[in-house]
Chain A
């Protein structure tokens, strides 16, 4: 890596376009790209650096480390997770859970249980690749292997993206600018096309459209949720997506799940909505801190799903009528074909 320090930044930038961004982030403007990082850093004024809380050695060593990490980020974009295995531990009373679950890309697993039953604990176990060292004693493996040592805590190995009702966009930027910023931080080569794709997709989920220029903070609840889902599906590095209660999010739930499955995500969804629950391939019933049952969604349940979806459709029609300011004094028995 030392030869990098003696290579003109113009040359480095060909392979590592974000190298300029690094210098910008430490407040160094590069007048001549024919200079090498060593020359640029050597020319900096020591006193000015000290004022800003920098030192030359630190800038050099961080520069090299940043390039290394960025290169790693790029390669993890192609990383593949074929499976995540969860081996049961114990519930709060110490009773063994006795289950082993293998999750594959495109799987939808619902988590059901009352508040405080241990849903978040299960998620936390997945997040930190539990190795019998969390309160539940569960083990989580990736591609059949245990991640050990430092690997376990490296950010690029973080597997779980989270989506919940409580989350909001807080940055004061336009949708387009922000998604472009996210794409840039993921080292995506074609930023413009990616941004466009994310926005189009979010608009399909939300129903009410927004544009590139709309301010993030002005999005409605449904639009925010739709953008979060589209962005997570298409731009997040995490192969697992955890969704917490999106039943009232004002987005097309079926399309949202289809999108995540299409993008090869492993979806874990905590829900109490029967339609969402049946859209999952299986569900984990959690009680007293432990997984009590793993229920596969079978044909019998799926037969019911169609009817539920019809009823849901009807309710949707009523909502549309309400929005349009109409009276809904129709014959409900007939309307629902009861």
Chain B
């Protein structure tokens, strides 16, 4: 059983990239499954089904999506094993840019799109910096110059990853990406496996339903903003 984690900001094209890559992966692995993590709702399972890929959806609802991922990923793996899959791909959106689902020894892919702007690679956290492969989407609608600048910025943010441009519509580049997926080795259980980076903490009353604003309600893990002296803006 092989596992690959795929993460990226919302609407970057993760599902399209996985579907196009699966076309090539199917030649090596006969049964591929996807577990789609999302927060509120998703209709991506319909796309996967249409592409002939088995999918299970996990909605984190009012829980921190990444904590939810960590507490469920081994169950997903066990489900996939029971189903007799050769490869399981997890898809999750890094919503706050601080979280990352990547696990040590498990191939990690980050999907970002180059419409997001040249500064974006710097802003995306461990999800990009700890990935083995970065798939860049939507390159077909921006200029060559922007693609080159963007890939340079990605490399600055994560010099160790390989960067592959993938067109989620035509599938160009998906073949290259499938090579990164096929580096996965067999994994039986994730019991004891380590995340590549800690997920952000979330243990305050607001995590568990508190709605009132005010100092009295800020207990547990509270972090306050620091307001440094700000120079008056020049008129």
Contact = CB atoms under 8 A, between A and B. Distances in A.
A55 interface: yes
* Residue from B126, B130, B142, B148 having most chain A Cβ neighbours under 10 A: B148
16 contacts: A22-B156, A51-B98, A53-B97, A58-B130, A62-B129, A62-B159, A66-B156, A68-B159, A155-B162, A161-B144, A164-B140, A167-B142, A169-B142, A181-B118, A182-B148, A228-B145
A250 to B, nearest CB: 16
A158 to B, nearest CB: 8
A156 to B, nearest CB: 10
A54 B142 CA distance: 30
Interface stretch (A90-98, A229-237, A295-303): A229-237
4 closest A-B pairs by CB: A53-B125, A185-B152, A65-B159, A66-B159
A182 B175 contact: no
Interface of A: 21-22, 25, 50-55, 58, 61-62, 65-66, 68-69, 120, 123-124, 127-128, 134, 153-155, 161-164, 166-172, 178-179, 181-182, 185-186, 224, 227-228, 231-232, 235-238
B156 A228 contact: no
Given A58-B129, A153-B176, 19 more contacts: A25-B153, A25-B156, A51-B98, A52-B125, A53-B125, A54-B129, A55-B197, A128-B175, A134-B175, A153-B162, A153-B179, A155-B164, A167-B140, A167-B141, A179-B145, A182-B148, A185-B148, A228-B145, A236-B144
Interface in B140-181: 140-146, 148-149, 151-153, 155-160, 162-164, 170, 172-173, 175-176, 179-180
* Residue from A22, A69, A179, A185 having most chain B Cβ neighbours under 10 A: A185
Given A68-B159, A127-B173, A53 B145 contact: no
B144 A163 contact: yes
A235 B152 CA distance: 14
Nearest to B170: A120
A231 to B, nearest CB: 5
Contact of B143 (A51, A127, A168): A168
Contacts of B163: 155
A50 B198 CA distance: 8
A216 to B, nearest CB: 9
Interface in B93-126: 97-98, 100, 115, 117-118, 122, 125-126
Given A169-B143, A171-B117, A231-B144, A120 B149 contact: no
Contacts of A163: 144
Contacts of A166: 140-141
Contacts of A186: 148
Interface string B14-36: 00000000000000000000000
Contacts of B164: 153, 155
Contacts of B142: 167-170
A66 B155 contact: yes
B162 A154 contact: yes
Interface in B167-211: 170, 172-173, 175-176, 179-180, 197-198
Contacts of A182: 145, 148-149
A53 B156 contact: no
A228 B144 contact: yes
* Residue from A55, A123, A235 having most chain B Cβ neighbours under 10 A: A55
A66 B175 CA distance: 26
Given A53-B98, A155-B151, A62 B158 contact: yes
Contacts of A22: 156
Given A62-B129, A185-B148, A170 B162 contact: no
Contact of A178 (B126, B130, B145, B176): B145
Contacts of A224: 143
A155 B98 contact: no
Contact of A120 (B158, B159, B172): B172
A169 B146 contact: yes
A182 B175 CA distance: 28
A181 B100 CA distance: 29
